[in-house]
Amino acid sequence: MPYPFQEIESKWQARWDETCAFRAVPGGGPKFYLLEMFPYPSGRIHMGHVRNYTIGDVAARFKRAQGFSVLHPMGFDAFGQPAENAAIKQGVDPEAWTLRCIDWMRKELKRMGLSYDWDREVVTCLPDYYRWNQWIFLKMFERGLATQAAAPVNWCSGCETTLANEEVIDGACWRCKQPVALRQLKQWFLKITDYAEPLLNDLEKLTHWPQPVRTMQQNWIGRSEGVEIDFRIEGTKETLTVFTTRPDTIFGATYVVAAPEHPLVSKLLAGRPEGEKLRVFAERAARASTQERLAAGEKKEGVFTGLTAVNPVNGEKIPIWAADYVLMGYGTGAIMAVPAHDQRDFLFAQAHGLPVRMVIAPPDLPRRGSGTWTEAYEGEGTQVNSRQFDGLPNSEGKVKIAAWMEAQKMGRRTVQWRLRDWLISRQRYWGTPIPMIHCGACGVVPVPAEQLPVVLPEKAPITGEGGSPLAKVEPFVRAACPKCKQPARRETDTMATFFDSSWYFLRYCSPKAVDGPFDPKEAAFWMPVDQYIGGIEHAILHLLYSRFFTKFLKDLGLLKIEEPFDRLLTQGMVLKAGEVMSKSRGNVVDPDSVIAAYGADTLRLFILFAAPPEDSLEWNDSGIEGISRFLNRVWGLLEKLPDPKAPAADPAADAELLKLTHRTIKRVTGDLESFKFNTAIAALMELRNGQEKLLPGASGQAARESVERTVRMLGPLAPHLSEELWERLEHSGGLTRVPWPKADPALTAESEVTLVLQVNGKVRSRLTVPAGADPKQVERQALADPAVQKWLEGKKPKKVIQVPGRLINLVV
């Protein structure tokens, strides 16, 4: 008979609800803000959620037991495409659909026994939240951080609408299967690039973040130092500026390449036959999807423009090409090509018969030969064919040539960033309306802050066809210009949902604030988030945007901190048979069915036990039996308790039981602090196994001490069962505020240690000595050991290595 988990779990969940057991209240201990990434309310929780929220919940309960005043909130990232797609496919109202999903998911989360302060719930699709999206947007606009620019979107001419990248399948629309084209559209951008420098530099402060995440962000921001060089275009007054990180190779430039869509080149070619050729090429390049570019591989397509550039360092005239391997979006949209020292340039030069000139001699030049190369040499070497710089190591040449060019006004040193501005416009219904008004006379005018929120209108025609739904809601679109009061039109784009999730952690500090997005005093108290937990897939975008918002809000004077998240744990994925669990693969294991069969405590423990949090987790149905057995054995502890006044039948058992108990406290405490839940659970299993043997001989007092401490340690992991046992052990008031047990150092100390005796690094014997025994004495005992003597074969050891408390190695 398994323990009555259903009854116990619903009893305690109800009690926690009634007593608001997990309300975050300042005071009564140092603050600890523990946050897990909030879910998109798709309707069902999946194992990834279970894992994420269990890890967070154990940490939250552990911190409470350690005396912290814990803020542990939950909410819903409720705007987004799935609701809109449900509206398109089933004709449901996105809001009703979303709120229904939220209700269901909240219920499921409660069934997991997660200790949230539900009073602080945040739902991003409600006006009391998204009005502050609009407010923050207006502040950004005021400071020039929100700007409009043309950008390409995926356009389906069949549906006459914009598509997200994931809706473009093999270059075709997911709904009507027609080919998708790129179309330029004026859209809103946030100038995150203004914050590139602090976003990069402050990564150094995030010492409690996993190194891979910091590296990924660093690469994403991508700072590179280089030189902008001006190439005069022959026969014109124009200059083509290129960017290079390798000024040391400037004397090896044999041609120049511009991006196909480079505006200067198309301007110069207007009306000429090459212009038409270029236009066709640029269009093809723009239409090519990433996949096609990948398929094209190293073909390096390009067209000669007929134009000639003059290399400023030597006056050499070299051709200007346009090629798709140069990107308009990076640097200046043009490069100097040095085929000898850049593999991409090399391949292009080969394909189009362009010359190759070595200017960096490799150290092993004689072996390579200076004649025809089969690939570019990108390594270090000595400057050659570089006039006054010949003979310098190229590392030095790099610095000197850059300085010289700058002095000669041929170019200037600059820094380039890989980071792009953040496009937030979406031609969608289910998102925050961008609070802007387009006036024929005044241009783009912000909605005055006191008119917020700009409420998303109900009953918009959401068909997935014919452009943005909001544009079709005339009463919404029609507005008076805030400046001149003349009729004007509202912006009909909505915000990307990443905007919503870039500051939700601040809203939790004061979820009902009406004077601003959050109360600065509350945020000053709770922020930063002490521990953030979520999937590795958010390692770049979400975390970077949240860091950006935090820095911006600090500049507004609303925050005092530079960084939002102090510690970060990125949890691995949940797999089934080596594959990600997903609906499309049809390999999902439904958490609800596991809870029904085994209970939430068993599910929680199993998912923690199966793998360390950062690793991917292989779901295996059979393993759950072991956890279920363990919890049943813990339940059975109550029956094994002797009479409280009973003396010890076996005094040795008493001592051993207490020793085991306190050693387990030490292990479990350390493991929980470092998120090693799997070994913490293993330690508790060992304790329970030991109790099986030791409880019958123990005194009533020792037995009770051991069992009560076991229950307290299990509290954060299996909260329902632990609460029930705690109550049955005749304690009132619940387990939540009961302090975490402390290990008694007198009981955890070892009195004896067993040393391993090695001869030539091989284990030959063991030796038990008192802890802290004299090394000389230990060595003598080791040498006297019969097994050791046998292996020494009468020889004297050359060397004796003793690691106190661990081993002795005798080398002969």
Partner RNA sequence: GGGCGGAUGGCGGAACUGGUAAACGCGCGGGAUUUAGGAUCCCGUCCCGAAAGGGUUGGAGGUUCGACUCCUCUUCCGCCCACCA
Q: State which of positions 416-445 bind RNA (CB under 7 A).
A: 416, 418
Length of the chain: 812
Residue among 463 and 748 whose Cβ is closer to RNA:
748
Q: State which of positions 537-556 bind RNA (CB under 7 A).
A: 537, 540
Q: State which of positions 671-700 bind RNA (CB under 7 A).
A: 676, 678-679, 681-682, 685-686, 689, 692-693
Residue among 545 and 630 whose Cβ is closer to RNA:
630
Q: Are 724 and 731 in contact (CB under 8 A)?
A: no
* Part in contact with RNA (CB under 7 A); list of ranges 215-223, 445-453, 478-486, 581-589: 215-223
Least distance to RNA, CB of residue 376, Å: 11
Q: Measured between alpha carbons, how far is 559 from 429 in angstroms, rounded to an integer?
A: 32
Least distance to RNA, CB of residue 808, Å: 9
Q: Measured between alpha carbons, how far is 577 from 477 in angstroms, rounded to an integer?
A: 51
Residue among 10 and 219 whose Cβ is closer to RNA:
219
Q: Are 203 and 217 in contact (CB under 8 A)?
A: yes
| Residue 255 in the binding site for RNA (CB under 7 A) | no
Least distance to RNA, CB of residue 414, Å: 11
For RNA, the binding residue among 17, 170, 592, 615 (CB under 7 A) is 615
Burial 413-426 (b: 16+ CB within 10 A, else e): eeebbebebbebbb
Residue among 444 and 541 whose Cβ is closer to RNA:
541
Separation in Å, CA 717 to CA 605, 606, 727, 732? 6, 10, 17, 20
Q: Are 508 and 71 in contact (CB under 8 A)?
A: yes
| Residue 170 in the binding site for RNA (CB under 7 A) | no
Least distance to RNA, CB of residue 706, Å: 16
Least distance to RNA, CB of residue 217, Å: 10
Identify the CA nearest to 141 among candidates 393, 354, 443.
443
Angle of CA points 641, 57, 709, to nearest 5°: 20
Residue among 135 and 330 whose Cβ is closer to RNA:
330
Residue among 226 and 528 whose Cβ is closer to RNA:
226
Q: Are 111 and 120 in contact (CB under 8 A)?
A: no
Alpha helices in 94-126, H assignment, sequence order = 94-111
| Residue 461 in the binding site for RNA (CB under 7 A) | no
| Residue 625 in the binding site for RNA (CB under 7 A) | yes
Total site size for RNA, rule CB under 7 A? 82
Angle of CA points 654, 658, 659, to nearest 5°: 115
Q: State which of positions 77-96 bind RNA (CB under 7 A).
A: none
Q: State which of positions 726-765 bind RNA (CB under 7 A).
A: 754, 756, 758, 760-763
Q: Measured between alpha carbons, how far is 109 from 117 in angstroms, rounded to an integer?
A: 12
Q: Are 337 and 345 in contact (CB under 8 A)?
A: yes
Identify the CA nearest to 581 among candidates 49, 40, 104, 42.
49
In this structure, what are the phi and psi dihedrals at residue 384, rounded to the nearest 5 degrees? -135, 165
Least distance to RNA, CB of residue 311, Å: 14
Tokens of 521: 């005093």
Q: State which of positions 569-598 bind RNA (CB under 7 A).
A: 580
* Part in contact with RNA (CB under 7 A); list of ranges 192-200, 263-271, 461-469, 533-541: 533-541
Residue among 75 and 331 whose Cβ is closer to RNA:
331
Least distance to RNA, CB of residue 347, Å: 8
| Residue 629 in the binding site for RNA (CB under 7 A) | yes
The β-bridge partners of 123 are 76
For RNA, the binding residue among 216, 513, 561, 646 (CB under 7 A) is 216
Q: Measured between alpha carbons, how far is 603 from 607 in angstroms, rounded to an integer?
A: 6
Residue among 471 and 756 whose Cβ is closer to RNA:
756
Q: Measured between alpha carbons, how far is 435 from 439 in angstroms, rounded to an integer?
A: 13
* Part in contact with RNA (CB under 7 A); list of ranges 183-191, 292-300, 369-377, 380-388: 292-300
653 half-sphere exposure, CB direction, 13 A CA radius: 17
For RNA, the binding residue among 222, 306, 516, 734 (CB under 7 A) is 222
Binding mask 223-242 for RNA (x = CB under 7 A): -x-x----------------
Residue among 11 and 640 whose Cβ is closer to RNA:
640
**Which stretches of 284-435 are assigned E, i.e. beta strand?**
302-310, 317-323, 334-337, 360-361, 382-383, 411-417, 422-423, 425-426
| Residue 20 in the binding site for RNA (CB under 7 A) | no
Q: Measured between alpha carbons, how far is 571 from 567 in angstroms, rounded to an integer?
A: 13
For residue 644, the tally of other CB atoms under 10 A from its CB is 10
* Part in contact with RNA (CB under 7 A); list of ranges 286-294, 389-397, 400-408, 643-651: 286-294
Q: Are 116 and 72 in contact (CB under 8 A)?
A: yes
Tokens of 361: 């001699």
Least distance to RNA, CB of residue 165, Å: 9
Residue among 21 and 589 whose Cβ is closer to RNA:
589
| Residue 296 in the binding site for RNA (CB under 7 A) | yes
For RNA, the binding residue among 316, 458, 562, 618 (CB under 7 A) is 618
Residue among 271 and 329 whose Cβ is closer to RNA:
329
* Part in contact with RNA (CB under 7 A); list of ranges 389-397, 453-461, 532-540, 557-565: 532-540
Q: State which of positions 316-375 bind RNA (CB under 7 A).
A: 324-327, 329-333, 335-336, 342, 344
Q: Measured between alpha carbons, how far is 48 from 46 in angstroms, rounded to an integer?
A: 5
Binding mask 782-801 for RNA (x = CB under 7 A): -----------------x-x
Span between the terminal Cα atoms of the chain, in Å: 61
